[in-house]
Amino acid sequence: MDTTRKTQIVKHLAREAGFDFCGVAQAVYLEDEAPRLEAWLRRGYHGEMHYMEKWFDLRLDPRKLVPGARSVICLAMNYYPEPRPSHPEGLKISRYAYGEDYHKVLRKAMKTMVHEMKRQLGDFSFRVFTDSGPVMEKVWAARAGVGWMGKHSNLIIKKAGSFFFLGEIICDVELEYDAPAHDHCGTCTRCMEACPTEAIPRPYEVDGSKCISYFTIELKSHIPESMQNTWNDWIFGCDICQEVCPWNRFSTPHNRPEFEPQEKILNKTVREWFEITEELFEEQAARSPLKRAGLNKIRNNIRFLKKSLGSNASENFNFFNPPSSLNKRSKKE
Ligand code: SF4
Ligand code: SF4
């Protein structure tokens, strides 16, 4: 079977598995990315995400992840939700976390795809990734023509927007390679201007250590006082730079039941966040990305926000000194 036919089959299977976009790039050393990644790390833009310093060589060369790799199959799945009423107290959670943990959903879809690829193309070596290993997935998606990396560093798909999860199948199958996507940011700088923490100091470069997503999800220590009053409502992640991007006027709601909003989590009031037991949180968030942050981290994020807003911010609930019954529960946690 020739590479053209194989590539057609791969792209057909990607659609069958539920992906909205699929492109293929040749598995090569990412020469241009090496100095960029080095400079980003040197500037300390990874903050406490020390795992970013590891596996430098692997990050730049997929053939070190899959010996003999020929192709990087890049996949994108829409997660843009239907509009929903805002939270009664204004607490905001990034759209990507509305439904089930995307790692599991995409991994399952890619495994299904690989299974069928093997049936139709014969056996091959592969690994699948979705924000889960040393893979520069946005760089690969751009090389595979799926979209371009915007000035906010997210992948933007022309006429579809940026609310997409990305996944990659690195394999030793030779396929037909797509042309890289063109950059359509032009003179726009909306995302840079809208970022409340000035985390986009230069176009196409995000200072991860200043990003609200980092503060509310990744950071293990306390959010620095200097960030007080810079943002008022995000308790998990941040969508501001994507919300202001003109390309997201093309976003359309997804149709995957797994990404349907988990209202029990999304609608919790401040009081409920402090009253819920660890056990109940574990149960309710079992399939949610919020589980990764954990209950204490979310509570600390709320405390930080409410400190910014002042003590009257929340419906007479004193979350700095919760009732003694809750204090006891916290100690146990
Ligand atoms: S996610 Fe929020 S904090 Fe991070 S770069 Fe975008 S606007 Fe700034
Ligand atoms: S807001 Fe403008 S500059 Fe930023 S990613 Fe979108 S198009 Fe590019």
**Ligand 1: distance of its center to the CA of 332 in Å?**
34
What's the pLDDT at 328? 41
What's the pLDDT at 317? 53
What's the pLDDT at 264? 93
- Distance, in Å, from the CA atom of 12 to the CA atom of 84, rounded to the nearest integer, reads 33
Q: Which residues of 151-175 are buried (b: 16+ CB within 10 A; e: fewer)?
A: bbbbbbbeebbbbbbbbbbbbebeb
Range(s) for CATH 3.40.109 in the chain?
Answer: 3-171
Contact 190 CB / ligand 2 (< 6 Å): yes
What's the pLDDT at 232? 80
Q: Is 224 left (phi over 0), alpha (psi -120 to 50) or beta?
A: beta
Q: Which two tokens stand for residue 160?
A: 């579809």
What's the pLDDT at 194? 97
Question: Are the C-beta atoms of residues 264 and 280 closer than 8 Å to each other?
Answer: no
Pairing between β-strand 92-93 and β-strand 234-236 as defined by DSSP bridges: parallel
**Ligand 2: distance of its center to the CA of 46 in Å?**
22
What's the pLDDT at 306? 78
Ranges of residues in the chain whose predicted pLDDT is under 70: 308-333
Q: Which one of the ligands is nearest to 191 CA?
A: 2
Q: Which two tokens stand for residue 7?
A: 């590539």
What's the pLDDT at 319? 55
Element (H, E) at 325: helix 324-332
What's the pLDDT at 229? 87
What's the pLDDT at 238? 97
* Residue-wise pLDDT tens digits, 18-34: 999 999 999 999 999 99
Topology (CATH) of 3-171:
NADH Oxidase (3.40.109)
pTM of the model: 0.92
Which residue's CA lies nearest to atom 1 of ligand 2?
245
To the nearest 10 degrees (0 to 180), the angle between helices 3-16 and 102-121 is 140
Q: Of the residues 131, 172, 183, 233, which is catalytic?
A: 131
In the annotation, is 239 catalytic?
no
Question: Are the C-beta atoms of residues 93 and 254 closer than 8 Å to each other?
Answer: no
